A and B are shown apart, each in its own frame.
Chain A
Amino acid sequence: MYRYDNFDRQFLSDRNAEFRDQVARRLAGDLTEDEFKPLRLMNGLYLQLHAYMLRVAIPYGVLSPKQLRRLAEVARRWDRGFGHWTTRQNIQFNWIELVDTPDILDSLADVDMHALQTSGNCIRNVTADPLAGAAADEIEDPRVWAEILRQWSTLHPEFSFLPRKFKFAITGALEDRAAVLFHDIGLRIVAGPGGSRGFQVFVGGGQGRTPYVGQEIRGFLDQRHLLSYVEAILRVYNLHGRRDNIYKARIKILVNALGIDAFRQEVDAEWERIRDSVTDLPDSEVRRIRAHFSPPELPQRGQQADVFAGRRESDPAFARWVRTNVVAHKKADYAIVTVAFKEPGRAPGDVTADEMETVADLAERFSADELRVTYQQNLVLPHVARADLIALYDALGGVGLADGSQDTITDIIACPGLDYCNLANARSIPVALAITERFKDTKRVDEIGPLRLNISGCINACGHHHAGHIGILGVDKKGTEHYQITLGGSGADDAAVGSILGRSFPAEEVPDAIEKIVDTYMDLRRNGESFLMTQRRLGNAPFKEALYGTR
């Protein structure tokens, strides 16, 4: 992973000293809340329902065991002993005091972490394929470019006060596991002519109040032009994005108002002007950053196929875990393992300090000191020898983290909702818990197959409900919490925005409604069809009828 040099450390130290001074001036009354708010937000500090919330950046989801242990320490010392993996590969602490924040940021800086640009109308933490550097289907490790974008965008003077927040996602694999089509700019590394590499560039995707799937603005961008090209996009947006209306300020609105062709023309004109300027990095700098992402040394381990097959045969829970949470690695005798934080009774994505320390230990023991956070609010151990899978599973099982649920109906993405969030209209977590409880029979979950169910507590869509095969949106209906259901969304290669089924339900009716939708799918599916395939073949009509009758 990227290792800070003295320049990076000094930069962060200076920045934290500056914020310490700003906090002191706020507490002394020298800064008003209006003056202070943009300063704290640029350092990841929100004021939520019950307390301040600190969102700590985990650049492109990559964590070291040492960093994870420090997050555990923050949770224990300054919070209530737990944190929450976010849907943008970060972590949030929910019970922070303003007076402690400068010390927390210093503590994070000790392990090369910060909370910069996890809020505010700036370029946010860049997200990436959580299997980067490990996946069998990878063309090139996207972390190199994610790190370049991180460095370029950090305190970028021109792009620190954009019309609205701005999110990048990048993948270097054949399969999109980074939801690039739901980002302001989505990047896919693609092969070009003569063995060259470039980016397929998408723009204007996003969820929230007005969801759009991103559109291709450029089919192939030579890698060396990445920074000048995205700078051209950001500059056009910064000039023309609407600052008069917060609901129309994202780049997706501009792209769709102008049309992708007119927007592209604007970008190309600007790019033509700057493409051979100093914006693009020299090859030597790209090489320097690339060197930080050299693959770890993974010794030949063999697969112990007999022992492995025996355990799969004798232990259905292990077999299930292998089926759902273990995927192919670049090296045949290694695998990529998802550690799920979704078992019944757990708020999706919540993680205790003890669990952070346990997983940090396991990453050292089994995964070449590497960890990743996924936008589905789980962790990934990217380099596990297949010969160690049984030992890892047993160690995870010992602390209740061997839930084999990845990409099933109980692998729910949920925002913090009205239990924590100032913007929420309704609670998300209790609804997620009720659905997980309803579908706790793992045999049934296996029969249902892959099904992504996402829940947001308001239209801002932090819980990615638009991209759920089943999406649930909390709304306020005359002072009571109601939930609207959408079907057919996806954040993957077949990205789509789900469509609304019909009238909303009160919380207590949501599990029944979900069960009816699932039962309808089970009745109507053809051989091998997933929920999404059936829904796309038939549309919403049969599900609507199951929920609301034929009226």
Chain B
Amino acid sequence: MPSIVTANRLRDGVVVFLTANGSWSEDISEARVAADKSETATLEADGQISLDDQSVVSLYPMDVAIEGGKPRPISVREKIRAAHDITF
């Protein structure tokens, strides 16, 4: 299953996603997608750089669906996180 790497930004806690150029975006559609386990491991290793420089916290990989070529969250939890808002 395709996956991406997500975290929370240290200074404000906002949900962010690791992009292709190694920066972090609040927009999940800009996330870099790993196609398999070994690519996911590479992504996590890239994310680790930001953990080490203390710009993000709580980093983990998450499964995504690909719609129109863009990653989309699958679980309710990740849909809520990616929306940056409450659902009611």
Which residues of the partner chain B approach A420 to less than 8 Å between Cβ atoms?
86
- Segment among B17-25, B28-36, B40-48, B71-79 that sits at the interface with chain A: B71-79
Contact A418 B76 (CB under 8 A): yes
Which residues of the partner chain A approach B81 to less than 8 Å between Cβ atoms?
49-50
Given A97-B12, A97-B13, A99-B12, CB of A47 within 8 Å of CB of B57: yes
A-B contact pairs, 12 of them (CB 8 A): A26-B54, A27-B10, A28-B54, A33-B58, A47-B13, A49-B80, A50-B85, A97-B13, A419-B80, A429-B88, A479-B75, A481-B76
In angstroms, Cα B72 to Cα A509, docked, is 27
Proximity string of chain A (144-174) to chain B, C-beta cutoff 8 Å, 1 when within and 0 when not: 0000000000000000000000000000000
Which residues of the partner chain B approach A52 to less than 8 Å between Cβ atoms?
12-13
Q: Nearest CB to that of A52 among chain B residues?
A: B13
Any B CB within 8 A of the CB of A433: yes
Contact B84 A50 (CB under 8 A): yes
In angstroms, Cα B25 to Cα A486, docked, is 42
A-B contact count (CB 8 A): 66
Q: What residues make up the interface of A, taking CB atoms closer than 8 Å to B?
A: 26-29, 32-33, 47-52, 96-99, 347, 418-420, 424, 426-427, 429-430, 433, 479-481
Given A430-B87, A433-B88, CB of A50 within 8 Å of CB of B76: no
In angstroms, Cα B84 to Cα A99, docked, is 19
Contact among A28, A50, A419, A481 with B15 in the assembled complex (CB-CB below 8 Å): A50
Which residues of the partner chain B approach A98 to less than 8 Å between Cβ atoms?
10-13
Q: Nearest CB to that of B86 among chain A residues?
A: A419
Which residues of the partner chain B approach A51 to less than 8 Å between Cβ atoms?
12-14
In angstroms, Cα B77 to Cα A481, docked, is 10
Across the A-B interface, give the 9 residue pairs with the lowest CB-CB distance, nearest first: A29-B54, A97-B12, A51-B13, A419-B86, A52-B13, A430-B88, A33-B57, A99-B11, A429-B88
Number of interface residues of B (CB under 8 A): 22
How many whole Å from A347's CB to the nearest CB in chain B? 6
Q: What residues make up the interface of B, taking CB atoms closer than 8 Å to A?
A: 8, 10-15, 53-54, 57-58, 74-77, 80-81, 84-88
Contact B13 A48 (CB under 8 A): yes
Would you call the interface of chain B mostly helix, strand, loop, or mixed?
loop
In angstroms, Cα B58 to Cα A212, docked, is 33
Q: Nearest CB to that of A427 among chain B residues?
A: B87
Given A29-B54, A50-B15, A97-B13, CB of A480 within 8 Å of CB of B76: yes
Contact A49 B54 (CB under 8 A): no
Q: Nearest CB to that of B78 among chain A residues?
A: A49
Which residues of the partner chain A approach B84 to less than 8 Å between Cβ atoms?
50
In angstroms, Cα B86 to Cα A347, docked, is 11
How many whole Å from A335's CB to the nearest CB in chain B? 34
Given A49-B80, A49-B81, A427-B76, CB of A29 within 8 Å of CB of B53: yes
Contact A479 B74 (CB under 8 A): yes
Which residues of the partner chain B approach A480 to less than 8 Å between Cβ atoms?
76
In angstroms, Cα B64 to Cα A115, docked, is 37
In angstroms, Cα B83 to Cα A420, docked, is 12
Which residues of the partner chain A approach B58 to less than 8 Å between Cβ atoms?
33, 47
Which residues of the partner chain A approach B75 to less than 8 Å between Cβ atoms?
479
Which residues of the partner chain A approach B57 to less than 8 Å between Cβ atoms?
33, 47
Which residues of the partner chain B approach A50 to less than 8 Å between Cβ atoms?
13-15, 81, 84-85
Which residues of the partner chain A approach B76 to less than 8 Å between Cβ atoms?
418, 426-427, 479-481
Question: Counting chain A CB atoms within 10 Å of each CB, which of B14, B53, B58, B88 scores highest?
Answer: B88
Which residues of the partner chain B approach A96 to less than 8 Å between Cβ atoms?
13
In angstroms, Cα B10 to Cα A50, docked, is 12
How many whole Å from A289's CB to the nearest CB in chain B? 38
How many whole Å from B55's CB to the nearest CB in chain A? 9
Q: Nearest CB to that of A33 among chain B residues?
A: B57
Contact A347 B11 (CB under 8 A): no
In angstroms, Cα B15 to Cα A359, docked, is 34
How many whole Å from A520's CB to the nearest CB in chain B? 28
Contact A418 B80 (CB under 8 A): yes
